[in-house]
Structures are given as C-alpha cells and as structure tokens.
Amino acid sequence: MAGKRVQFDSETWASVDLLSKDRMMTFQELADEAFRDILKKYNRPASLKEALRKSAGVTADIVPLKTAKASKQAKPKRKAKRKL
C-alpha cells in the first residue's frame, strides 16, 4: 500500500488523536473510515465490488449460483433397464 503524508494544524491533530484514543482506534482506522464516508457522500465507489455493481447499472440482475443440491435435482433420472 502506498503511503501518503498529510499535515494538520496542532489543534486539529490534538482532536484527532484524542478521538482515536477514545474510540480505541489507530489513526489509520480513523482515516479509512473518514475517506469511506467522503466517497459515500459524493456517490463514489469505495471498493472494486461497488465499482463493478455501479458500472453494471440499475437494471443488472443478481443471479444466484446453483448449489450442488439444486443441480442434482435438475438432471432427469434414467430408467433402469430390465433384464430379460
């Protein structure tokens, strides 16, 4: 992960530091939460999954995958051959 530097004035840093201690979170966890909230506010995807869903459009249907049980039921059963 690429690192970035940000600068805060001392008053803001003290508030952020106090919040992180009160919430028992690291600065990174607070920053992740804050940036996710900003992306959500401006209707931007925060993850690849969200981006793919958004690009598929509103009309895209989510089709559930067939389970092994469902696929066995779908196969026609063969009749046993009679011995003569």
pLDDT in tens, 44-84: 888 888 888 778 776 667 778 888 775 566 666 666 666 66
Q: Angle at the Cα of 4 (from 1 to 28), degrees rounded to 5?
A: 70
- Token look-up 């089709």 returns 63
Token digits of residue 55: 């690009």
| C-alpha to C-alpha distance for 25 and 27, rounded to whole angstroms | 7
For residue 50, count other CB atoms closer than 10 A to its CB.
13
Span 4-32, pLDDT tens digits: 898 999 999 999 999 999 999 999 999 99
